[in-house]
Amino acid sequence: MNNNQLEPTTKITDYKERIKAFGLELGVDDIGIASVSNYNSPLSPKIESIFPEAKSIIVLVYKEPANCDSPNRQIAINGRLDLIEFSRSCNYLLARFLEKEFDARAMTVPYSYPIDMSKHGIADVSLRHAAVAAGLGTIGRINLVIHPKFGARVIFTAVLCDLALPSDPLVTEDFCNNCNICVASCPVGALAEAGKTDVSKCSPYIQPHGLKGTIEFWQKFADSSPQQQKEMLMDNSFMELWQFQIVGNIYVCFKCRNSCPIGKR
Ligand code: B12
């Protein structure tokens, strides 16, 4: 069909409506569209370096169930894992819809991992910047996108495509009231500086069995006697490490996001 050519405005509007209707029908909570030219994430790679013909970013919003508010660590993270799994299906189904319905080329952008580990926490596509460009919210003091209806209790995925779809209007209202509750809620002070999350504080705390924790464990293991090594392998911290390796993406802290009063029910 379109081979990157701009279609008459009515047709393009119709495409956008059909794409959004399809996504909402899947169970996604909101969808915004940004033209690639409106995506501006200074630290991230250019979208063209990932997908040279990409013209649009379709950003999918998923409202989280209440799990992350639970003091039970397993229930809290399992709610997120449910959503991550669901979001992969939605990405795939939307990409296939674009291919089948509009003869478009599409590439999916996942929730997070795998990312290029040499880039120190900078993903190939910054979903916060994409969500803002797609009119889905504004960045609050918490450094998360505050969605007009759901606040910070949302996650995002995206689909890049070569259809030239115009951007949705930006959200102009600032939903963050700068109450600073998120800043105070962080047990390691990672939000102390406005406009920046201190990754060296946040990351090892929310993912204690991530890269830093794994290196520390095996370093200690290498420096231990055979008897101590035996004990280390029977210890709960190793079992947690093992669990992290097979499940991945296990966070043990949601405090900033849980503390935000915007959109809380
Ligand atoms: C790596 C990563 C992390 C790392 C490091 C973060 C980092 N370096 O930015 C760690 C592990 C610490 C982390 C923590 C969390 N993360 Co995280 N993370 C990511 C990931 C995979 C990549 C982020 C990235 O590329 N950052 C690097 C660059 C691009 O960011 P940056 O240029 O520094 O941008 C910052 C500034 O520019 C600032 N900023 C200042 N002024 C302005 C103005 C405007 C207009 C804009 C757009 C930005 C902006 O905003 C950005 C945030 O700091 C994304 C998924 C993705 N693909 O985007 C999820 C993602 C950002 N994380 C998310 C979440 C939910 C979390 C946690 C709450 C984890 C949890 N327990 O649930 C915490 C929140 C911590 C916090 N309050 O900041 C969500 C955010 C959803 C939302 N509502 O915004 C994302 C989008 C995952 C997803 N698919 O939904 N994360």
pLDDT in tens, 40-70: 999 999 999 999 999 999 999 999 999 999 9
Pocket test of ligand 1: the residue of 82, 112, 201 to mutate, having most ligand atoms within 8 Å of its CB, is: 112
β-strands 30-35, 145-146 pairing? unpaired
* pLDDT band at residue 154 using 50, 70 and 90 as cut-offs: very high
The dihedrals phi and psi of 147, each to the nearest 5 degrees, come to -80, 140
C-alpha 82 to ligand 1 mean position (Å):
20
pLDDT band of 1, cuts 50, 70, 90? very low
User: Cα separations (Å) of 34 from 95, 134, 228, 246?
Assistant: 16, 4, 55, 35
Query: Distance (Å, rounded) from C-alpha 24 to C-alpha 238?
Result: 42
* Domain range list for the chain: 9-161, 181-259
| Per-residue pLDDT tens digits for 94-144 | 999 999 999 999 999 999 989 999 998 899 999 999 999 999 999 999 999
Distance in Å, CA 27 to ligand 1 centroid: 24
Residue nearest to atom 55 of ligand 1 (CA): 112
Rounded to the nearest angstrom, the distance between the alpha carbon of 11 and the centre of ligand 1 is 35
- The whole model's pTM is what? 0.94
State in Å: Cα 14 to ligand 1 middle. 32
Phi, psi of 136 (to 5 degrees): -105, 5
Question: Is 126 a pocket residue for ligand 1 (Cβ < 6 Å)?
Answer: yes
Residue identifier of the C-alpha nearest atom 79 of ligand 1: 155
